[in-house]
Amino acid sequence: MAVHGLESEPVGSFPSSGIDVLVVGTGLAGLTAAIECIRKGHNVRVLERAATINTLGDMYFMGLPATRFFKHWPEMKAEYDSIGLHNAWIQTFRHSGEEIVKPLYVNERLKAAGLDPKTPPGTFQLRPLIYKMFVKQVERLGIKIEFNTRVVDYFEEGGKGGCVTQEGKRYEADVVIAADGVGSKSQRLVGGQVRAVSSGRAMWRAAFPIENLDKDPEVKEHYKMVTKNEGGEREPIVRTFLGPGTYAMTLTRPDTMIWIINHNATGSSAENWSNTIEPKEVLDTMDEGVGPNPWAPMMKRLIACTPEKTIVNFELLWRDPQPSWKSPNGRVVQIGDAAHSFLPASGNGATQAIEDAVSIASCLQLCGGKDNITEAVEAHIRFRFIRNACAQKVGFSNAELLQDTDWNKVKFDPRRAQPKHPKWVWEHDPEVYTYENYSKNVEAMKKGIRFDECDVPPNFPRGYKFEPWSIEKIMEDMRQGKSIDLGPGNWD
Ligand SMILES: Cc1cc2nc3c(=O)[nH]c(=O)nc-3n(C[C@H](O)[C@H](O)[C@H](O)COP(=O)(O)OP(=O)(O)OC[C@H]3O[C@@H](n4cnc5c(N)ncnc54)[C@H](O)[C@@H]3O)c2cc1C
Ligand SMILES: *[C@@H]1O[C@H](CO)[C@@H](O)[C@H](O)[C@H]1NC(C)=O
Ligand SMILES: *[C@@H]1O[C@H](CO)[C@@H](O)[C@H](O)[C@H]1NC(C)=O
Ligand SMILES: *[C@@H]1O[C@H](CO)[C@@H](O)[C@H](O)[C@H]1NC(C)=O
Ligand SMILES: *[C@@H]1O[C@H](CO)[C@@H](O)[C@H](O)[C@H]1NC(C)=O
């Protein structure tokens, strides 16, 4: 029998399942769940607290596993190819401005770091463009998003899941997918609430129209794109900066300039994508804690060009893996950041959110219908839990690597200037994996065999056995100068 997910199967390929799905939240998790559930034959409604399409944010890394399902969505695939970063360059500097690694194609840097340039583990994407691309697809399918609908609570009763809005309106469905991000209101029902711990770090991040650089022609010249050939064709470039206690990156695209700087959390940082500060605050404090050499003047002048109400001071909070992602009978299930939060530096927040969505839509199709939703949700969580906990840990390890980079060594080993993108993360295809392994997974589940002890091949580091771990322990190790102990198995 053909395995679903290998070939393109557009909408209409699957018969109706009769399962009513309610999706809460229109981040990447919620939007992917909505379109994939439609494609798999489920009925879908979507709720969102924001008043309208929210195109805030700058960029995120989209790993390969999060883009494999585009084969089913020709319009999205075409748009993704047109908005993506093609032939991007990357160059690395000390924070004080000296070049450490000359401009190379990203692919060449991957090769230098021992990765196969033909399969880059993913690409940086502009959130506003990606978000609009998904919303357009949802609209093409005729799915109505009910904006201005803030969910305040979730419930499960009589074989249904449901939620209640701020206005007291109740919604019910066979299964509710809580994709309402960090701090999901479903945490009380699923018993998954974990404490958010400050990492002590934050990021200043800004994305704005490139015309703002006209204010300072030397800045415009300094951060220009790469001119490829005599024809004058220009290509985007990522510039990374490493210093003691800080790292930063800029991205220059034809229309957009982006910069991001990691720094110690301040009173004005918050875990909130609308929390903006003005350039003066950054300029006044950025040289603290970077050692004897201040930031390069060109970085300061770039910051000075940033328009008002644009710089987000985003605080990085850490959370232990959540113990549970579902209500007792599985009628409410969390996906994406609602289930597991990632540090932006992990390069996994967007990727794992999309993988979750593809997985839950597939499991609900595979279970055969309404009667088996509990089974589908439990099987989905077994597929996803250990993989996510491992990806979260890699995120901490990457953050540590970047923050503590000994920038005198970087010249000799570009690998240290590059976060880890392990093979077990980017090789995965969440749809094919689910179709090939669902029945084996369910069989083992019914026998009470742990996922990491059953005969389904792992989608996490081979050889790893899950043991609960905590941020407290990791932080303690860091304080003692120990590097993060990832655990047994092949993490590369
Ligand atoms: C505005 C915004 C900008 C972002 N910008 C970046 C960025 O530049 N770089 C980066 O790495 N990551 C960014 N992120 C985070 C990133 O999108 C997520 O970490 C990742 O994609 C996982 O997505 P998610 O769908 O699980 O969660 P999210 O993207 O957080 O989406 C959650 C959605 O649920 C909605 N919601 C929340 N609470 C409720 C409620 N009670 N009722 C109804 N709806 C609710 C939110 O409005 C949001 O649309 C941003 C997130 C947001 C919301
Ligand atoms: C995020 O910041 C904005 C702007 O300061 C504010 O209006 C909003 O209430 C904040 N959101 C949360 C959840 O704190
Ligand atoms: C930033 O935090 C680290 C760790 O807590 C500390 O050692 C360092 O001095 C701080 N830097 C500044 C500028 O406060
Ligand atoms: C539900 O699952 C069981 C096996 O777990 C299967 O026998 C049954 O056919 C499924 N129900 C439907 C409606 O497919
Ligand atoms: C599980 O899926 C993988 C592909 O993702 C496949 O190689 C493997 O054979 C499957 N395992 C089982 C037990 O069917």
How buried is residue 132: exposed, middle or buried, by Cβ count under 10 Å (0-12/13-18/19+)? middle
Q: Could you give the angle at which helices 28-39 and 127-140 cross, rounded to 10 degrees?
A: 30
Domain that holds residue 461: 20-80+126-195+321-479
For residue 274, the ligand 2 atom closest to its alpha carbon is 2
| 102 is a domain residue | no
Joined tokens for residue 156: 């499960």
How many alpha carbons lie under 13 Å from residue 5 in its C-beta half-sphere? 25
Q: State pTM to two decimals.
A: 0.94
Q: What is the mean pLDDT of residues 401-424?
A: 58
The predicted structure's pLDDT at residue 474:
79
Q: Is residue 238 part of a domain?
A: yes
Q: Is 447 exposed, middle or buried (0-12, 13-18, 19+ CB in 10 A)?
A: exposed
- Asked if 33 and 135 sit in the same domain, the reply is yes
Q: How far is CA 59 from the centre of its chain?
A: 10
pLDDT in tens, 453-478: 999 999 999 999 999 888 888 778 77
Cα dihedral sign, 24-26-29-35 = positive
253 near 85, Cβ under 8 Å? yes
Ligand 4 center–CA 377 separation, angstroms:
14
Residues 6 or more apart whose CB falls under 8 angstroms from that of 61 comprise 122, 123, 124, 125, 347, 348, 350, 351
Pocket lining: 274 vs ligand 2, CB cutoff 6 Å: yes
What SS3 class is residue 112? helix
Q: What is the pLDDT of residues 236-263, one digit of tens each?
A: 999 999 888 788 999 999 999 999 999 9
Q: CA angle at residue 62 from 440 to 466, to 5 degrees? A: 40
- Greater confidence (475 vs 333) lies with 333
- Provide the CATH number for the domain around residue 466: 3.50.50.60
Tell me the C-alpha distance between 252 and 302, whole Å: 12
Of 318, 333, 354, which marks where a domain is finished? Answer: 318
Q: Are residues 306 and 344 in the same domain?
A: no
Task: Determine the distance separating the centroid of ligand 3 and the alpha carbon of 289, expressed in angstroms.
Answer: 6
Do 250 and 295 lie in a common domain?
yes
205 is catalytic: yes
What number does the ligand 4 atom closest to the CA of 442 have?
5
Residue 9 lies in a domain: no
Dmax (CA) for the chain in angstroms is: 69
Nearest CA to ligand 2 atom 14: 272
Residue 409 confidence (pLDDT) above 50: no
Report if residue 131 sits inside a domain: yes
End of a domain among 277, 302, 318? 318
Decide which of 318, 340, 367 is a domain's last residue: 318
- Regarding whether 176 and 39 lie in a shared domain, the answer is yes
Our answer on whether the CB atom of 266 is closer than 6 Å to any ligand 2 atom is: no
292 and 370, same structural domain?
no
User: What pLDDT is attached to residue 220?
Assistant: 97
- Which residue in 49, 68, 201, 205 is the catalytic one? 205
In this structure, the answer to whether residues 438 and 349 fall within a common structural domain is: yes
Q: Could you tell me if the CB of 74 is within 6 A of ligand 4?
A: no
Ligand (nearest to CA of 441): 5
Same domain, 245 and 165: no
For the chain, how many structural domains are there in total? 2
Burial pattern 345-384, b for ≥16 Cβ within 10 A else e, equals bbbbbbbbbbbbbbbbbbbbbbbeeeebbbbbbbbbbbbb
**Beta carbon of 18 within 6 Å of any ligand 4 atom:** no
> pLDDT digits over 15-45, tens only?
999 999 999 999 999 999 999 999 999 999 9
CB-ligand 5 contact for 74 (6 Å cutoff): no
Inside any domain, residue 116? no
User: How do residues 169-221 score in pLDDT, each as one tens digit?
Assistant: 999 999 999 999 998 999 999 998 888 888 888 999 999 999 999 999 999 99
Atom 10 in ligand 4: which residue has the minimum CA distance? 368
In a domain, 280, yes or no: yes
Rounded to the nearest integer, the mean pLDDT of the chain is 91
What's residue 410's pLDDT?
44
